[in-house]
Amino acid sequence: MPDATIALKDRERTLGIKTYGHSDLAIGAPVDEDILFEIGSIGKSFTAIALLGHVAGGPDLQAPVANYLPWFEVPSRPSNAPNGLAECEARMGTLN
């Protein structure tokens, strides 16, 4: 991994930021706090963890997502949490 930025936050403020590596290996430019990184597929992990945290007494994971997020639409079919996560995986080409 040539570069990374780690930020530690609480609900009110940023507690600290540390950068590592180079944003451009060819010229040795260091990473700074203003460089933006793509988050890639990590959003699916955060979503799955959040959903699992609500399973006990939380939302019905088999219910359509639109029951909880009325603005959310998937034109091809009704979407529930497991189907939505699988759809993301399939679109990323990581399912067998």
Q: Are residues 53 and 85 in the same domain?
A: yes
- Look up the domain containing 60 and give its range: 42-92
Taking phi first (over 0 means left), then psi (-120 to 50 degrees means alpha), and beta for anything else, what does residue 28 get? left
Q: Are residues 46 and 33 in the same domain?
A: no
Query: Domain count of the chain?
Result: 2
Segment holding 8, helix H or strand E: strand 3-9
Q: Are residues 47 and 8 in the same domain?
A: no
- From residue 11, alpha-carbon distances to 8, 15, 39, 68 in Å are 10, 10, 21, 24
Record the pTM.
0.42
Q: What is the pLDDT of residues 34-81, one digit of tens each?
A: 888 877 777 777 777 777 766 666 667 677 777 777 776 666 665 666
Greater confidence (26 vs 84) lies with: 26
Q: Are residues 80 and 55 in the same domain?
A: yes
For the segment 89-95, the average pLDDT, to the nearest whole number, is 50
Q: Are residues 62 and 77 in the same domain?
A: yes
pLDDT value, residue 94: 47
Q: What is the pLDDT of residues 4-25, one digit of tens each?
A: 888 899 888 999 999 999 888 8
What's the maximum distance between 2 C-alpha atoms anywhere in the chain? 54
Q: Are residues 48 and 82 in the same domain?
A: yes
> Which position has the token pair 């080409």?
93
pLDDT value, residue 82: 63
Question: What contacts 20, CB < 8 A, 6 or more positions away?
Answer: 3, 4, 5, 6, 31
Q: Are residues 47 and 85 in the same domain?
A: yes
Q: Are residues 48 and 33 in the same domain?
A: no
